[in-house]
Amino acid sequence: MTLHTSTYKGKRILIILNDGTKLIGKFKDKKSGAVYTEEHGRIPTSMMKAMTIYKSPQERV
């Protein structure tokens, strides 16, 4: 199964890596097997377990 790795530019995303680390950043682009964020730079999709749009606890009220 493949990851859904695209969304609107500037959208805040949550990335969960294979080792369980969670990264939150603004989506910049998706090119050739990698996702680019403003805060973390290039993240290869092979290192990712999941990616989703991040909603902070304040937005869930």
**Beta strands 22-31 and 12-17: pairing type?**
antiparallel
pTM confidence score: 0.84
Question: What domains, with CATH codes, occur in the chain?
Answer: 12-60 (2.30.30)
Per-residue pLDDT of the chain (61 residues; tens, 9 = 90+): 567 778 899 999 999 999 999 999 999 999 989 999 999 999 999 999 999 999 887 765 5
